[in-house]
Amino acid sequence: MQHLTEQINPLTRDIDILPTLEMVRLMNQEDARVATAVAVELENIARAIDAIAARMRRGGRLIYIGAGTSGRLGVLDASECPPTFDTPPEQVIGLIAGGPAALTQAIEGAEDDDQQGQRDLAAHGVNAEDSVVGIAASGQTPYVLGGITEARRRGALTVGVACNHPSSLSRLVDISITPLVGPEVIAGSTRLKAGTAQKMVLNMLSTGVMVKLGKTYGNLMVDVQPTNAKLRERARRIVAQACEIELSQAAALLEACDGETKTAIVAYLGSLHPSEARRRLREAGGSVRAAIGKN
C-alpha cells in the first residue's frame, strides 16, 4: 500500500507549467492545511509533554531520533534548547542517521540501517527516565524503528511523530502523534508539509516541556543565556518586564545578580539578597513563581 506521504497530489499535477504566482499560491494553500492537521493531534501532544516533563524532573533526557529532514529537525530543536532555556547540552539530544555529516549532506542509505539506530541509542545509555521521540514522515524508517525498539527494551518513554497512520512507528510507541497533512505538492518531498508539521510538533513538545519545568515566567524566556549582545539586551528587557521597572534598573539588577535573569527577578519581586534568591530558586526547582510564592 502506498503511504499517504508518497501519494500524488491531484491539485498540483500541472505545477511545472503554472505561472509562478499560481504555483506559490497552490503551495501556500497546501501549507495552510498543516496547522489543522496538527490541531487534531493536540491531545496526544499534551500527553507527551506531561509524560516527558515528569521524567525530566527526575533527571531524564529528551532524545530525538530521525533520518533526513526528520533527523535534521530533531537536531535543530535539540540545539536550540540550551540558548533558549539554559538546558545542559546533554539534556536534549538529537540523533540523525548518518551522524553529524548528515546535517549538511544527504546520506540516504543510512536511514535503512535499523541496527545503527539501536547502536546509537545504546551508545547514549538510554534508561527508564529518558524519553525518546522517533521522527519519521512515513512512520516506516528502519533507523528510527531500530532506535525506538532499543528505547523500549531499556524502559524509556517512546513517542512517535509521523505523517502516516497506521504505521510501524505508531504501533511501537507509547504515544503516537500523527498529523496527516496529505500528499505533498511535489510527490514524496516530505521536507514540505510533513516537515512543517513535524517542526510545529517539536516546537510544542520542547517548549511545552520547558514551560512545565519552570523555564519561563509567564511567557517570558527567563532561562535565556545572555551569551551575546542581543541576548544580554533581551535579558534586560525580560527583567524589566517581569519586575515592571526601567531598563536601566534592570541592567543594574542583573549586574548585582551576576547576569542571572531568574535570580534578578526573584531578588526584586521577593525583596531578597541574590544569594537568598538563588537558594529559593534551587528549592523551587527553578520555578520563579514557586520561588516568590505565587504559584
Which one from 6, 80, 129, 276 is the annotated catalytic residue? 80
Contact of 5 with 163, CB cutoff 8 Å: yes
Q: Catalytic residue at 283?
A: no
Write out the three cell numbers for 55.
521524567
- Nearest to residue 179, comparing CAs of 203, 168, 156, 195? 195
Give the DSSP letter of residue 190.
T
Q: Is 75 exposed, middle or buried (CB count within 10 Å of its CB: 0-12, 13-18, 19+)?
A: buried
Q: Which grid coordinates belong to 66? A: 530521525
Sheet holding 157-161, edge to edge: 92-96, 62-66, 131-135, 157-161, 175-177
Cell of 122: 545504546
| Residue 220 DSSP label | B
Does 142 sit behind a cis peptide bond, omega within 30 degrees of 0 on the bond before it? no
- In contact, 97 and 71? CB cutoff 8 Å: yes
Of 30, 43, 90, 111, the active-site residue reads: 111
233 flagged as catalytic: no
Report, as residue numbers or ranges, the catalytic residues. Answer: 80, 111
